[in-house]
Amino acid sequence: MAKILVVENDNGIREFLGDFFASSSEHTVTMVENTQTVTDMIEAGLFLFDLAIVANHGIPDMKGVELIEQIKNPFPRLPIILISGLPEPFWHQADAFLSKPFYVDKLGEMATRLLETGV
């Protein structure tokens, strides 16, 4: 069973992504709306995930690429997917990038590949 973290400040998109991954009995999904919750989880030792999806490059309290750096620092092998309506950042540490709008099947394929191979 994979533990997936979804970070998205838009409630509708966050719920959609959570429902998509939770519909598989193989996944447990934790959904958060801000980066502070993620950094608090890291500091408290409660960051226990197999895959992270940062679904907005422009999260109000911290840019997605900055959050990814904060996650990758203590968890360099954790696969991360960055989803954004903005162009792909020139430099980021995400393992995969998906442009909004996107096909949910493509996201599912990326997640499956990353969970199975890490790349």
Please state the domain extents for the chain: 34-97
The rounded distance, in Å, linking the Cα atoms of 112 and 72 is 20
The model's pTM = 0.90
Q: What is the pLDDT of residue 88?
A: 72
Nearest to 88 by CA among 65, 110, 61: 65
Q: What H or E segment, with its residue span, contains residue 4? A: strand 2-7
Nearest to 82 by CA among 96, 100, 61, 67: 96
Q: What is the pLDDT of residue 50?
A: 93
Strands (E), 18-108: 27-32, 51-54, 80-84, 96-99
Q: pLDDT per position in the chain (119 positions), as tens?
A: 889 999 988 889 889 998 888 887 678 899 998 888 999 999 998 899 999 998 876 666 678 888 899 999 999 999 999 988 877 777 778 999 998 888 889 999 999 999 998 66
Q: What is the pLDDT of residue 60?
A: 64
